[in-house]
Amino acid sequence: MGAAGALAAPVQAQAQRPNVVFILADNVGYGDMGPYGGGELRGAPTPRTDQMAREGLRLTQFLVEPACTPSRAALMTGQYSIRNGLSLIIVPGTPSTLSGKAFTMGDMFHAAGYATAIYGKWHLGSEPQSLPTAHGFDEFYGIPPDTSWDSATYVDTIALTRSIEAPYQDLLAKGPYIVEAAAGGPLRKVKPFTPAVRAEIDNELTAKSVDFIKRQHAAGKPFFLYLPFSMGHVPNLPSREFAGKSRIGNYGDKLMEGDHHVGQVLDALRELGIDNDTLVVFASDNGPYGEVAFNFGNQGTPDMGNSGPYRGELGEASEGAVRTFAFIRWPGHVAANTTSNAMFSIMDFLPTLAGIVGGKMPNDRPIDGVDQSDVLFVRSATGRREGLLSFIGPDLVAARWKQWRVYFTDIHPTGIGPQRAPGLGSASAPMAGYPKLFNIEMDPHEDRNVGAVFGWGAEGPLKEVEAYEKSLKGHPNPPAPNITNFRGE
């Protein structure tokens, strides 16, 4: 689905068009991977990711949205998720789904003449107009496009609770299913998505990715591969090869397995001699699962990630929920062994990659992402972004500007407050009067509200809000997702 109008990308970037591989982990925290202080120190060595960091760029201020669907919508469209009505995790049976009018990363690469594929988790809807193959992708193989990795447990938990009285095989026949599709075509069922399939799924997705790379190289066609695999998402059921490899249980095993799969993709590029012709991104969609999914199996060990020095987990809007890892590697173009503390949003990848490959961006809608190629090519230490907004459902709940974070909703910090359940189950309520203000550099854990001391620190975030509100006058958002209010309000 293309846009009504388009702007040409910078001429400078059109000289060389690399292949692009985007590998997206799921709910892996800032403190989980080796180059951010995790890895071996976390009990789960990540040697291939460590190598990728040495060979490319590490972002230390990579910012995302609070949960899976919102972050993936922001990545694909270069817009805040709320602009596409996707600011909550999709729940099957609700109206939340990607519009056919959306412009996606798949659309951009397809229009630029690239072969395109996605293997893994889409999570932007299963309606015909919402499928990746309706948005520029030639191939799709993965889990149901309106659910996540935990749907592999649905049949077993239905049988456990006897919520639906039916023979197990009948429940299995109803799904969920691994599915596939080709450009413009419908979904086809491949096999039931069970815990056993869940444990080995990343092996399948990586093998299909390597096969796609080889096929496109043989055809002499540039390619865009999107590999959103399962590493990090509960239940972290490791494959037979990696079960018991780490020192911290299933979560660590799956970290090590995902690291191995990243290495397999990099090895395939080297073996084909296209290593220097391929830009590879490896990032996480949001902060880690925490206490809300602490006991999701895992042999009595916590199935949860680590936010590093920051507070927060999946579903919250605090720093540890929306800051995670990202690496960018393109030998000969992106300088090796570099680190940038520039503020870089997940939305920035679409305009940045469009600039690099000579793709076109729409001019008939607000694009919240910015071209950050100057960060990639070490031409700027600060980049083109100073602020970022965070939405949960219909609400603007927080804003960042430089090192300042402002909260407009009183979200209980992880693990405390009148209820213990944080993250996806956290309690929140509007605040009367003044917002809360934190300085992320002085206080990474967000323990001290400094609004009374640095009152002027809220001015920058509020300007970000003002600019966003101004954009709504010509481009109002669709109805925001809401599955607690059924009064049509």
Beta strands, E only, 333-392: 338-340, 344-345, 361-362, 387-392
Give the three-state DSSP class for 398.
Answer: strand
List, in sequence order, every residue forming a beta bridge with 116; answer none if it has no partner: 224
Q: Which of 68, 110, 135, 260 is catalytic?
A: 68
CA distance 36 to 456: 32
Q: Please, where are the H alpha helices in 334-382?
A: 349-357, 373-376
CB 414 within 8 A of CB 290: yes
Q: Which residue has the tokens 């690399």?
A: 18
Is 110 among the residues known to form the active site?
Answer: no
Is 123 among the residues known to form the active site?
Answer: yes
Cβ-Cβ contacts under 8 Å for 355 (sequence gap 6 or more): 9, 10, 13, 371, 373
Q: Which of 110, 123, 135, 217 is catalytic?
A: 123
Q: What is the dihedral of CA 51, 52, 58, 63, to 10 degrees?
A: -130
Cβ-Cβ contacts under 8 Å for 298 (sequence gap 6 or more): 235, 236, 249, 250, 251
Q: CA neighbours within 13 Å on the CB side: how many for 73?
A: 30
- Residue 256: in which H helix or E strand, if any? helix 250-271
Give me the count of residues in the chain: 489
Cβ-Cβ contacts under 8 Å for 320 (sequence gap 6 or more): 29, 30, 287, 288, 307, 308, 310, 311, 312, 313, 414
CA distance 371 to 364: 17
Tokens of 391: 């939405």
Q: Which of 9, 4, 215 is closest to 109 using CA atoms?
A: 9
Catalytically annotated residues: 68, 123
